[in-house]
Amino acid sequence: MTVSSLPKGSTFVRYAMALAVGKDVGNAAAYAASRWGEGSQVHRILKGAVSAGDTAGWGEELVSEYGAAAADFLGLVRERTIIGRLPGLRRVPPLTPFLRVSSGATASWIAEGGAMAMRGMTFARDSLETLKIAALTVLTEELASSADPAAESMIRADLISAIVEASDTAFIDPGNSGTPGEQPAAVTNGITAVTSGGDFTESIETLTRTFAGDLTAAYFVGRPELFVQISGIEYPNIGARGGEIAGIPALASRYVPMGAGDTYDLALIDPSGITYTSDEAGTELKTARHASIQFDDAPTMDSVEPTGANMINLWQVNGTAIAALLRQNWIRTRPGSVALLTGIAAGSAS
């Protein structure tokens, strides 16, 4: 077994850089050999694709190598996403039927020979397909071919940041009601929020009192600015990187949306009430040199119903597009497992 001393995610990023510079798999393999050596993992992956004549249906060994590179990169992504930092999520395989239990099972003490109590449970049969998150970044050819290690780090950081933003925003923004077959609804969507009464401590007490999830397993999720503002004598273990509020772990994410009038929202989540699926084997990297791109965070292009838009040709600007496609999905499966506190004014805990 070969132990790599490279920073996590390096092979996946180098794979993208080689494709960007080489333009096709054959040239990319040659470029990888000349730059990182014939024994490098990225060269073995690309050479295997050339031998197979296709990137689909590779031999098991090469699939494992690519899968390991993708998993390494995904590990970096998970370390920064909300969903990756929430332990205790109910994980299921993609498209595998599971039962949602709206009322839990019963446990009770019984006498010798006595009957076991059974509370009526309500089930809903469901399954989760994986939906795609696409992180798209555009590089100059000079950056893609640069031998400076900083270039590799920059590309890796850009791809990770794009995926984290898309994942966290979709997961936590109450305004995201989801789009069937495209994007899951936020776990906070459709919840009747608790409105802050002005005093932060009293608001937290109200939120936890009405929370139907398991407080011993729950997590707060909020903006780092909010956590900085509430840090002090009453909450000494909280700060910009998270911490604890009233003994409950708190995760910081700058993608928790601001509320009306520059107020803050704070979510309280019991991860066991969230069902999650992902497909690491379906992680893809794509590059394009002769393509036109609409530089917009809300593109109007549609290949099903063609829609015109102002486009920029990559060849004209000496650019290369790199897209990382990840597959995941989630659903709030237990009523009351997520609560939301809104309208927290700046300085309310000071």
Task: Please give the structure tokens belonging to residue 237.
Answer: 């273990």
Q: How far apart are CA 346 and CA 350, in angstroms?
A: 9
E strand spans, the chain: 90-91, 98-101, 123-126, 131-140, 194-195, 219-222, 238-239, 242-245, 248-252, 264-269, 274-278, 284-288, 292-293, 312-313, 319-332, 338-344
Query: Cα–Cα–Cα angle for 343, 346, 350, nearest 5°?
Result: 120
Chain centroid to Cα 82, Å, comes to: 7
Identify the pLDDT of residue 123.
64
Helix, strand, or coil here: 289? coil
- For residue range 45-74, list pLDDT tens digits in order: 888 765 544 444 444 444 578 888 888 888
Specify the amino acid at residue 105: A
Identify the pLDDT of residue 241.
96
Q: How far apart are CA 291 and CA 315, in angstroms?
A: 7
- For residue range 141-200, list pLDDT tens digits in order: 888 888 888 988 998 998 899 899 999 999 999 999 999 999 999 999 999 999 998 899
Non-local (6+) Cβ contacts of 151 within 8 A are 143, 144
Identify the pLDDT of residue 284.
82
Q: How far apart are CA 214 and CA 104, in angstroms?
A: 12
For the chain, the structural domain boundaries read: 130-350
Chain centroid to Cα 211, Å, comes to: 25
Predicted TM-score (pTM) of this structure: 0.81
Identify the pLDDT of residue 8.
87
